[in-house]
Amino acid sequence: MSLSLNMFQAAFGVYSRLLPSRAALKAVELMTSPRIKPERRASSRELFEKVVPLGNDGWLSIIGNGPKKILFLHGWSGWVGQFEDLIREIDPGEYTVYAVHPAGHGESEATESHPGRFIEAVFEAHDYVDGSFDVGVGHSLGAAALVYAQSTRSCFGRLVLVSGPATIEGVLSRFARFVKLGARSKRLFIRDMEETVGLSVDRLDLITLAPSIKAPVLLIHDELDSEVPSAESRELHEVFPRSRLTHTTGYGHSRLLQNPEVVREIIEFTHTPFRP
């Protein structure tokens, strides 16, 4: 950890104890401001044939003309190019491939976003195709958004959840610890995030939502994930009615998407009958 980051965390911790409500609002601002390099935002353009606008500043990239439909959704401050290895293994004659850019990500020019924008983008994509997707693939916050969408609308025939959290409250709590929020400031931060998103953390508890999802689910998580603990996928595996759990070791939160074994397992999951 860099000296400048240590200094920022120490200063923000003091700030949150002196002015808890202001620190909470600043934490919300930080939490809802995606940070993505321009070249990463543009990385999906060569992978897809067209991009169409969705509501609430989201976009949808599309390639292929297959009768089956597969949707990809990256995580917070992520980008569609993270799925490149997987997308290139999909036959565009078998699948039409869709990739969501929620507000503040990819082709979107919005400067702010939050979990609600991810969920809205999934619903907008579902409306655009006017039917369910055969497969939904989500990474991190994208995985969480797919679970919420599936529990609400049954948008997918099966789900692939990579490095996904078990609760959004856990995501917010980890961010609060990262910026060293005091106890009162953390409570205000979570309350303010609920108001911003328009959903309470209880409504975004995936452990509670998972039992209602009957579609097959493949969970993939790395044991050394420093952003979302791998134990959270184990918790979800225990409550999904039909799920399979695979672990990697040494690929962290995002690099497992480039792991050839992970790519093969996802492709196999999309083509064969489900096995628990």
Query: CATH no. for residue 63?
Result: 3.40.50.1820
Q: Looking at the domain assignment, is residue 132 inside a domain?
A: yes
Q: Looking at the domain assignment, is residue 150 inside a domain?
A: yes
Q: What average pLDDT does this structure show over 136-148?
A: 98
> Under 8 Å CB-to-CB from 207, ≥6 apart: which residues?
166, 167, 235, 236, 239
Q: What average pLDDT does this structure show over 14-33?
A: 92
Q: Looking at the domain assignment, is residue 3 inside a domain?
A: no
Residue 12 pLDDT class (50, 70, 90 cuts): confident
Residue 48 pLDDT class (50, 70, 90 cuts): very high
User: Distance of CA 213 to CAs 128, 157, 241, Å?
Assistant: 23, 10, 7
Q: Looking at the domain assignment, is residue 33 inside a domain?
A: no
Instruction: Report the mean per-residue pLDDT for the chain.
Output: 94
pLDDT of amino acid 27 = 94
pLDDT of amino acid 231 = 97
Q: Looking at the domain assignment, is residue 35 inside a domain?
A: no
pLDDT of amino acid 14 = 87
pLDDT of amino acid 270 = 94
Q: Which is nearest to 135 in space by CA: 93, 91, 98?
A: 98
b (16+ CB within 10 A) / e for 125-158: bbeeeeebbbbbbbbbbbbbbbbbbbbeeebbbb
Q: What average pLDDT does this structure show over 74-101?
A: 96
Residue percentage of the chain with pLDDT more than 70:
99
Kindly report, residue by residue over 187-238, the tens digit of the pLDDT: 999 999 999 999 999 999 999 999 999 999 999 999 999 999 999 999 999 9
Residue 44 pLDDT class (50, 70, 90 cuts): confident
Q: Looking at the domain assignment, is residue 75 inside a domain?
A: yes
Structural domain count, the chain: 1
Which of 15-24, 110-119, 157-166, 200-209 has the weakest average pLDDT? 15-24
Q: Looking at the domain assignment, is residue 96 inside a domain?
A: yes
Residue 1 pLDDT class (50, 70, 90 cuts): low
* Structure tokens belonging to residue 86: 């997987």
Q: Looking at the domain assignment, is residue 192 inside a domain?
A: no
Kindly report, residue by residue over 64-81, the tens digit of the pLDDT: 999 999 999 999 999 999
Contact 112, 104 (CB under 8 A): yes
Q: What average pLDDT does this structure show over 28-36?
A: 95
Q: Is the pLDDT of residue 275 over 80?
A: no
Question: The domain containing residue 253 runs over which residues?
Answer: 45-167+205-271
pTM score, two decimals? 0.95
pLDDT of amino acid 264 = 96
